[in-house]
Each structure stands twice: as C-alpha cells, then as structure tokens.
Amino acid sequence: MPTLTLSLSTSYAGNMKPGNETAFGNALQVVSAAGGLGTSALTLVQSTTSASPQGRNDRGSYTFSFSRAVSNLTFTVTDVDSNSGDFDDVLELTPGYVEQSRGSAITSDNNGPNGTQRYYNTSPNNALNDVSSTAGNIRVRYAGPISSFTITYWNWANQFSSGVDTNQGIFLSDLTFDYKPC
C-alpha cells in the first residue's frame, strides 16, 4: 500500500527571499503554538530586499502537494496582521475553498489575480500576538478531491520606516483531511 505523503515547494518573485533578512533560507519552522489554537504550526517567513515596498511584485508562494488526492481538507492560516512602516500581510489561496471562519481583524476583497479573493488586516497598523491572538486567523475547507493548494502572500505596506526589518511571517495550523488508502 503506497504511503500518503505531503510535500512543500516554495517560490519567490521579485525581491522576496525565504527567511528573515539576516538568516535567508530559514523560511519554514515549526512552532509549538500560533493563532490562539493551542496546536503547533508551520511558520512561513519571508523578507524583501527592496528598499521600498513593491506590493505583489515581491511575493512568496508555498505549494502543498499530496501524493494522491484528499478530501475535506481544512486548515487555518494565522497571524495575518500589519505594522505601519514595516509589514501589511496580504494572503491569497488557491480557489475552490469555502471560508469556514475569519478573525475579527481580517477583511477581504476580490481584487487578487483573475478576480480571486485576497485577505488582509482591517487596519494598516494592527500587529497581533503570534501565539495567542485569533483575530488574524482564516480557516478554510476544500471539499475535494484535491491534490495541492498554494498560499501566496506579500507585503502591502505603503513604505518602510528607517531601520525596520523587512521580514513577515504567517502560520499554517490545524490541517486535517480525509483520504482512502489504496
């Protein structure tokens, strides 16, 4: 019986790089808690080398691929937040999902590529606690069958303040799904 595997590939556009500005390549880490969920989470950290914000032109894409299709795929993305002059997270997901819940600090529009939905914080200055806050969480469900999905995110800050770091991070947690063994 083949084993079900989940792989992750990353790609970066423009001046976006994996990890923070001083430790490139350290983009993916597991933390013990995020988003007030009380469960571990995968951190997706990226930073731009641009001296000024480039919007969606500088972005990271994280593609999760299953070795065979799954159904009822659900997960929560946490810590979609902002800090004036530093970062303003904008999140896009592969279409085909149903939003199950959204934190109180999250809004959305259909102005993503090809009219897709994008999520962002309701304020350009609303840094949330990575571990305990649920206000920046989005929970979605793909009925399936689905073999892969992509999380794309970028920095919507209007400008960078002098001396700020250029990294941003979100978390993926609470991933569940159904599958039929072969």
In a domain, 68, yes or no: yes
What pLDDT does 25 receive?
Answer: 57
By DSSP bridging, strand 6-13 and strand 118-121 are unpaired
> In 3-state terms, what secondary structure has residue 21?
coil
Instruction: Give the integer Cα–Cα distance in Å for 47 and 114.
Output: 25
Q: Is residue 74 part of a domain?
A: yes
CB 64 within 8 A of CB 42: no
Per-residue model confidence as pLDDT tens digits over 133-170: 999 999 999 998 999 999 999 999 888 888 788 889 99
Q: What is the CATH number of the domain that holds 125?
A: 2.60.120
By the 8 A CB rule, do 74 and 175 touch?
yes
8 A C-beta contact, residue 74 and residue 139: yes
Q: Out of 23-37, 91-105, 107-121, 147-161, which region has the weakest mean confidence (pLDDT)?
A: 23-37
Establish if 89 belongs to a structural domain.
yes
Task: Name the band, by pLDDT with cuts 50, 70 and 90, for residue 182.
Answer: low
Is 1 among the domain residues? no
| DSSP for 85-138, written as a single string | TTEEEEEEE-SS-EEEEE-TTEEEES-SGGG--EEEESSSS----TTT--TT-E
Residue 23 pLDDT level (bands cut at 50, 70, 90)? low
Q: Is the pLDDT confidence value at 131 over 90?
A: yes
pLDDT tens track for 32-87: 999 999 999 999 999 988 888 889 999 999 999 999 999 999 999 999 999 998 99
Distance CA 61, CA 150 (A): 7
Which domain covers residue 157, as residue numbers?
6-178
DSSP string of 155-181? E--S-PPTT---EEEEEEEEEEEE---
Count structural domains, the chain: 1
Q: Which amino acid would we find at residue 176?
A: T
